[in-house]
């Protein structure tokens, strides 16, 4: 079975803090993705990566950056967290079909 | 631009009754279509997918979906729902590699409530 793990299930941070969300997959997938999920809005793509050190902007990249130094690991970075970044963050990896991690629920106070 | 519409925000079904969740998509090329399910506080689990071939696809947990190109629809069905089917359901569309390389576009979801 494909396994996608995220470093934290719940996270509380203060406005202005730098936040790192980590995602690891064990299926040697080329592609990895970060989405955020908000009630009534569904999932929206933030960034994705199709290879190590490569990244592409999704639909809502503002306020976020990413890092992919190893194939199995894809990090989402909030350079200066703001309250409007309070959300559920979902990581996925794929060859063709996307498989999702359990999500990180981030609260920014 | 691609888009997915799930017209029903909430659906309530009695346990044992049949279920149909609607999904309409807009996509400029051959679509790759997916249904995912999300239980409270959990990530998304793949129910089924359509890439090509038979337009009626079978998935896990007794679900099936039918791709109708003429109607740009990919509706999800189950003949008899169980209380454990209560969850949020998402339809998604992707590109040439099934969204594998370029991300998926999701609908806003349908919240399924099961009445005893």
Nearest-CB residue to B101 (from A31, A99, A102) = A31
Beta strands B110-115 and A4-6 are unpaired
H or E segment at B113? strand B110-115
Percentage of chain B lying above the pLDDT 70 cut: 93
Q: Which of B35, B44, B45, B18 is nearest to B73 (CA)?
A: B35
Q: Is the pLDDT of residue A2 over 80?
A: no
Contact A58 B103 (CB under 8 A): yes
Quote the minimal CA–CA distance from A51 to chain B in Å: 10
Q: What is the pLDDT of residues A15-47, one digit of tens each?
A: 999 999 999 999 999 999 999 999 888 899 999
Return phi, psi of residue B53, to 5°.
85, -140
Q: Which residues of B touch A56 (CB under 8 A)?
A: 102
Question: B1: pLDDT confidence band, cut at 50, 70 and 90?
Answer: confident
State chain B's mean pLDDT as an integer: 91
Which residue in B33, B46, B101, B107 has the most chain A C-beta atoms within 10 A of its own C-beta, making it the best mutation to test that interface? B101
B1 compared with B105, residue with greater pLDDT? B105
State chain A's mean pLDDT as an integer: 94
Q: What mean pLDDT comes out for the span B90-110?
A: 79
Q: Which of B69, B85, B64 is nearest to B15 (CA)?
A: B85
Q: Where are the beta strands (DSSP E) in B16-63?
A: 19-21, 24-26, 32-38, 45-50, 56-58
Output the CA angle A52-A56-A59, nearest 5 degrees. 145
Q: Is the pLDDT of residue B98 over 80?
A: no
> What residue has token string 């729902």?
B81
Q: Which residues of A touch B99 (CB under 8 A)?
A: 94, 97-98
Quote the minimal CA–CA distance from A81 to chain B in Å: 22
């Amino acid at each position: 079975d494909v396994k996608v793990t995220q470093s934290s299930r719940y996270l509380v941070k203060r406005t202005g803090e730098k936040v790192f969300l980590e995602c690891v997959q064990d299926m040697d997938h080329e592609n990895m993705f970060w989405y955020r999920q908000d009630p009534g809005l569904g999932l929206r793509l933030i960034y994705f990566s199709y290879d190590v050190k490569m990244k592409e902007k999704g639909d809502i990249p503002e306020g976020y950056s990413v890092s992919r130094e190893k194939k199995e690991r894809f990090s989402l970075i909030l350079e200066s967290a703001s309250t409007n970044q309070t959300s559920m963050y979902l990581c996925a990896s794929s060859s063709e079909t996307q498989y999702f991690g359990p999500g990180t629920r981030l609260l920014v106070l | 631009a691609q888009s997915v519409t799930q017209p029903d925000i909430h659906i309530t079904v009695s346990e044992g009754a049949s279920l149909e969740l609607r999904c309409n998509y807009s996509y400029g090329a051959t679509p790759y279509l997916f249904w995912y399910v999300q239980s409270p506080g959990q990530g998304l689990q793949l129910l089924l997918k359509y890439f090509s071939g038979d337009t009626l696809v079978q998935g896990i947990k007794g679900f099936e979906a039918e791709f109708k190109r003429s109607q740009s629809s990919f509706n999800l069905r189950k003949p008899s729902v169980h209380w454990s089917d209560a969850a949020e359901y998402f339809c998604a569309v992707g590109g040439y590699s099934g969204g594998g390389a370029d991300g998926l576009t999701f609908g806003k979801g349908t919240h399924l409530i099961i009445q005893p």
